[in-house]
Amino acid sequence: MSRRGVLAMAVTVVVAAGCLAACGDDSPQADAKTELQIWVRKPPGSNTEKTDQQLAAAFTAKTGVPTHVTALFDDFETKLQQAAAQKKLPDIVINDTDRLGGLVKQGLVREVDRTALAGQGDLTPASWQAATGADGKIYGVPFSAQSFALFIRKDWRAKLGLPLPKSWADLDALATAFTTKDPDGNGKPDTYGYVIPASTKRGYASWYFASFLWSAGGDYLAGDTGKFTPAINSASSLAAASEFRKQFCVDKSVVPGSVTAETTQAHPLFETGKGGIYFTGPYNMARFDKNLGRDKYEVIALPAGPGGKSVSLAEGENVYLMAGSANPDGQSKFAEYAMSVDGQTLGMAGDTDGNVVRLPVNAKVDMASVRTDTRWQLFADIYQNGARYVPVVPDWTPFRQASADTLNALVADCAADPKAALDKLAQTFDAELTKQGAKA
């Protein structure tokens, strides 16, 4: 076995052992006064961390249940596994919806009795879908939703006299113009079209690519829950991957360094004038307004792709109730507060960059009364009318990571064959579907 394989097995064994300790008979006796340890995937010291702290403080003031918030960002999942191995799982984790399968697989979260939660009927059906595992059971409580749109340098586009893109061809033409026609007017060839977080870390390349894959008529998998077959090497999927590769290798309209960029490195590339087109989420608007200037960029929906539709990845965050907590009642109460109108409103943080609730999952929240920035409505419309979550499999992480590795390799090595790469990826998907018992 390779060294990587040995390490992977070791991590699995350690995590499993940690879960047995956290979930087994030696779990601590329930105590409603025990302080809830809450982990959030947010940069320490950020305004989003402050909002999570305010949310926890408001919950404590309302219920009397003590809380402590820990913000972690880099290597969040690794640190969570280490906590499991040390029998020190937090009580609450607020993390991405697509991490649900992995948490369930490792036994780190407990099943949620939706009917026992006060106010659960006020949440949108789509948000509950994102908290439901492949077995039909619920393993999280919805907290936030989001979709994605194109952020475009309006001042660059105006200087070059180009229209807003209405097709992918228009979009590529705009990216090429931003790369070759000196849109910032400094006389230097130092601007590019696309900002793309194409790193393999956390599967970012696949995360970014998903919306374009679906808009092109392609897909990762075909079929229904429990009965999937690979679709990543279909003609439409190949067309999407070839377009992605073309931007890097033929048009050369992507900011250099994007192959290793995560979102934390990608955001500054847009706001400092390195790239003029960025497909990202609404959480960046307040940041870009401050660091770049609201008048210098515009936000539009992704134009329809070859598949005839404009499809955005839908995602967000769930409140996960971790296994083995000494305060299960407190866990449930926190989840109820986080999804309530009060909790959602506080988490939205108005129009500031401290928002941890991007789009509310509670249908009773009037977003327009919380935020004056009407651009948020664009993202709400995209989410409601043109967004989809990743396929529901027992654990999406291996699929996301494998596809990110393949896509990253395609754009890092311009001599690579897209068809051969996707055919190999389809074989990997097929084996993973078999392993997870999700193959048709």
Matching residue, tokens 């305060």: 327
Q: What is the mean pLDDT of residues 66-91?
A: 95
Residue 432 lies in a domain: yes
Domain co-membership, 90 together with 192:
no
Confidence of residue 19 (pLDDT cuts 50, 70, 90): low
Residues 6+ apart with CB under 8 A from 100: 109, 130, 131, 133, 139, 140, 318, 320
Tokens of 430: 């097929």
- CA-to-CA distance for 236 and 242, rounded, in angstroms? 10
| pLDDT of amino acid 278 | 98
C-beta separation of 262 from 197 below 8 A: yes
Residue 163 lies in a domain: yes
Tokens of 289: 């307004």
SS3 content of the chain, % helix, strand, coil (to 5): 50, 15, 35
Q: Any idea what the Cα angle at residue 222 is, between residues 216 and 223, rounded to 5°?
A: 140
- CA-to-CA distance for 105 and 88, rounded, in angstroms? 18
Domain co-membership, 166 together with 267:
yes
Which residues in 300-332 are b (16+ Cβ under 10 Å) and which e?
ebbbbbebeebbbbbbbbbbbbbbbbbbbebbb
Domain co-membership, 323 together with 264:
no
Domain co-membership, 153 together with 143:
no
- Look at residue 92 and give its three-state secondary structure: strand
Res. 60: pLDDT tops 80:
yes
Domain co-membership, 129 together with 157:
no
| pLDDT of amino acid 63 | 97
| pLDDT tens-place string over residues 150-167 | 999 999 999 999 999 999
Residue 23 lies in a domain: no
Residue 330 lies in a domain: yes
C-beta separation of 119 from 340 below 8 A: yes
Residues 6+ apart with CB under 8 A from 80: 39, 89, 93, 108
Res. 436: pLDDT tops 70:
yes
Residue 25 lies in a domain: no
Task: Identify the domain containing residue 187 by its residue range.
Answer: 149-312+397-436
Average pLDDT, the chain: 93
Residue 22 lies in a domain: no
Q: What is the mean pLDDT of residues 244-269?
A: 97
Domain co-membership, 295 together with 346:
no
Domain co-membership, 36 together with 127:
yes
Cα Rg of the chain (Å, integer): 22
Domain co-membership, 154 together with 167:
yes
**Which of 388, 405, 426 lies at the terminal end of a domain, its last residue?**
388
Claim: this prediction has a pTM higher than 0.95: no
Domain co-membership, 60 together with 179:
no
Domain co-membership, 73 together with 94:
yes
Res. 143: pLDDT tops 70:
yes
What angle, rounded to 10 degrees, do the helices at 235-249 and 168-180 form?
10
| pLDDT tens-place string over residues 299-312 | 999 999 999 999 99
- Look at residue 297 and give its three-state secondary structure: strand
H-helix or E-strand containing 166? none
| pLDDT of amino acid 29 | 66
Domain co-membership, 233 together with 336:
no
- Per DSSP bridges, beta strands 221-224 and 227-230 are antiparallel
Among 8-17, 54-63, 402-411, which is the least confidently predicted range? 8-17
- CA-to-CA distance for 334 and 329, rounded, in angstroms? 9
Confidence of residue 379 (pLDDT cuts 50, 70, 90): very high
Residue 24 lies in a domain: no
DSSP lists the bridge partners of residue 36 as 67
Domain co-membership, 359 together with 411:
no
Residues 6+ apart with CB under 8 A from 125: none
Residue 427 lies in a domain: yes
- CA-to-CA distance for 394 and 220, rounded, in angstroms? 15
Total number of domains constituting the chain: 2
CATH number of the domain where residue 94 is located: 3.40.190.10
